[in-house]
Every structure is written in structure tokens, then in C-alpha cells.
Chain A
Amino acid sequence: MKILKVRVWRGGADGAFQPFEVPRRESQTVLDVVTYIQRALEPALAYRFACRVGMCGSCAMTVNGVPRWTCRTHVDAALKNEDELTIGPLRNLPVIRDLVTDMREFFDKWARARGNFEGNKTRRDDFAKVLPQSEDRKQIDAAIECIGCAVCYASCDVVAWNPEYLGPAALNRAWTLIKDPRDQKGRERLRAVAGDAGCHACHTHLSCTERCPKHISPTRGIAGLKRATIFAFAGRPS
């Protein structure tokens, strides 16, 4: 039986990597490896997962230096030419214990970016008609499948340098609402996402776009927000 060498982060922010040896299996995912360790080798290992099929966004970790969704990442893909797997918690988020991070700040920033839909119709009104081929709808389609895994947030250097920065996921969410013709709070949302903590702080490194497991480009949405702020604020009283 082939053996896979694995190092897993243990403890809080000042913890350390602990080595394990795990049976190597065909089509093995990184989440399979972590689950094996917890069930067979170290029951106290803390990690987070739910759906195991790439829908819930709860199993993201740093695998060999790269933030990834572990349930859909094969060990082969994560190893590349290395012979050891190193699994740690996501970057840019406080570590609670082992592989579990505190996601509160990540989701609080969605609220700060006014990521909630605010319409003005009731159930007595007719359905809003948004044509599938309309430009707004196409742009929303390209950005709407975010699962909130925080891989983009952990990949973003601007978040590391500027803790107030809302981050790619929250700004991407704001972008989908800006393009939603049913939403009524576009101007307030743009005010919330403009500036040093928002879209204008993005350096266009594209790390979020490179690493998003859903192949969303938050960078594109952030660029759209920048353009939208011009039309909302430049030349008009704020």
C-alpha cells in the first residue's frame, strides 16, 4: 500500500504542523485525507465540511500554499511534483483551531458591502421580467454562483495589507446586485463599496480570479463597480 506523507496545522495562530502518514488511494481528495486523519489517527483534529460535492463552501483550506476547496481537489492536483501534502487553515482569517477559521469578518463584510437584495415589489405584483439574453443578466450569470468559500479572500494580498478591505467575494456580491434591475439600493451600495476599503483599493492582481473554484472573476465585477462609481458620483452631488 502506498503511503502519503501529510503535514496538518494543529492549534491556533501560534500552532505548528503535525506529520501524519495516510494510505494513498486512487481519486483521493484532500478532504478524504483530512477525514481519514480525524477518523483513524487524530480524533481531536478540527476541520469543517458539509456537502462534500462543491456546493456549500465550507471545506476550503490552504493546500501546499494554495487556498482550495478540498472536497473537489484531488491529491494528485494538489501535489503536482511534490511528495508531501501540507494542509493549513485559510489565510487572512483568524484561526480558531487546527483547520477551522473564524469566518465572521468575511461574512460581516458582505453585510458592509450591502450584499442583501432590496426590492420594492410585493407578492401581489407581477414577476419582474429580466430577459436571459440581456447584458445585465449575462453579467449577473457570470458572477452569481459564488458559494462563499473564502478562497478568493484568502488569496487576496490587499486583504492581507488592508484588513478593512471588503474583499473579492463581498464586492462580487455587490456587483451582482448593482446589475440587478429589480434592486433599489444601487446608489447606497456603491457608496458602501467605494473607496479605500472597497473597489478602489483593488490592485487587480487577479489572485481571486485565478483561484476561484467556481471560475468566477471577482476582478471583473470590481472593475465594473469602479466604472459604476463614476456614473454614480462624478459630476453629481453625493
Chain B
Amino acid sequence: MSARAQTYLWLAQRASAAILALCVAVHLATMIYAIRGGLSAAEILARTRGHAGWLAFYSTFVLAVAVHAPIGLRPVLGEWLRWRGASRDLCLAALALLLAGLGMRAVLGVFL
């Protein structure tokens, strides 16, 4: 992998970490605040369906996870399992797509 590609990977990892720090904090704070008196599935859906703000927030969250997790797994696989090379990167790209797909399915599930 070229120096340029590696630099972009590192940048993407750092940028997605910054986004995740914010998203996780907002997500946890919102959950704790909203669930104090109990919250049913119907009440959750009533708030999220058709709400563009929640769609944008959780789409950002999911895409940041899809970027961050595979890049973070890359050195773990290399250092612990000695798995390097193109096969590792292809599998991690597939993992990124899987995370994005499953995550967006969940986000759209509570939006539509």
C-alpha cells in the first residue's frame, strides 16, 4: 500500500474517531435522558419516524463506525494473527460494507 493511501487511512481513522466521540456522547446522553420514565418501542418510533435530524445523526454515526472499525482491526489482524496483504484489506473492505449496510438498515428501519 502506498504512503499516500496509508496516510489517508490514518486520517480517516482519526477523523472518524473524533466523530464517534461526539456521536457516542450524544447517543448515551439522549438514551439516559429519554428513558428515565420508561419508553416503549411505539414511543421511540413516534419520535424517529420521518425525523430528518435523527436520520442525519444516526447515518453519520453508522458511517463513522463503518470507517473506524475496519481500519482499527487492520493492525490487530496484522500484529496478532500475522494476517497481512491484499486478502486482509479485501476482507476489511467487505466488513466496512457489511457494517454500513446493517447499520443503515437499522437507521432506515426506525426512520421510514
Contact = CB atoms under 8 A, between A and B. Distances in A.
Interface of A: 158, 161-162, 190-191, 194-196, 200-201, 203, 226, 229-230, 232-234, 236, 238
A238 B6 CA distance: 11
Contact of B78 (A162, A191, A236): A162
Best-surrounded residue of A158, A162, A203 (most CB of chain B within 10 A): A162
B4 A161 contact: no
B81 to A, nearest CB: 11
Contacts of B78: 161-162, 196
B33 interface: no
Nearest to A187: B3
Nearest to A193: B3
Interface of B: 1-4, 6-11, 75, 78-80, 84
A130 B19 CA distance: 40
A195 B8 CA distance: 10
Contacts of A232: 3, 7
16 contacts: A161-B78, A162-B75, A162-B79, A190-B3, A191-B3, A194-B3, A194-B7, A196-B78, A201-B75, A230-B7, A232-B3, A232-B7, A233-B3, A233-B7, A233-B8, A234-B8
B104 to A, nearest CB: 27
B10 A200 contact: yes
A233 B75 contact: no
A214 B61 CA distance: 44
B4 A233 contact: yes
B11 A230 contact: yes
Contacts of B1: 195-196
B79 A234 contact: no
DSSP class of A's interface residues: helix, strand, loop or mixed?
A: helix
B4 A234 contact: yes
A229 B5 CA distance: 11
Contact of A195 (B6, B11, B79): B6
Contacts of B9: 200
A200 B7 contact: yes
Contacts of B2: 238
A158 B11 contact: no
B58 to A, nearest CB: 28
Contacts of A229: 3, 6-7, 10
A81 B49 CA distance: 64
A236 B3 CA distance: 12
B86 to A, nearest CB: 13
A158 B6 CA distance: 17
B62 to A, nearest CB: 25
A196 B6 contact: yes
A225 B57 CA distance: 33
B74 to A, nearest CB: 8
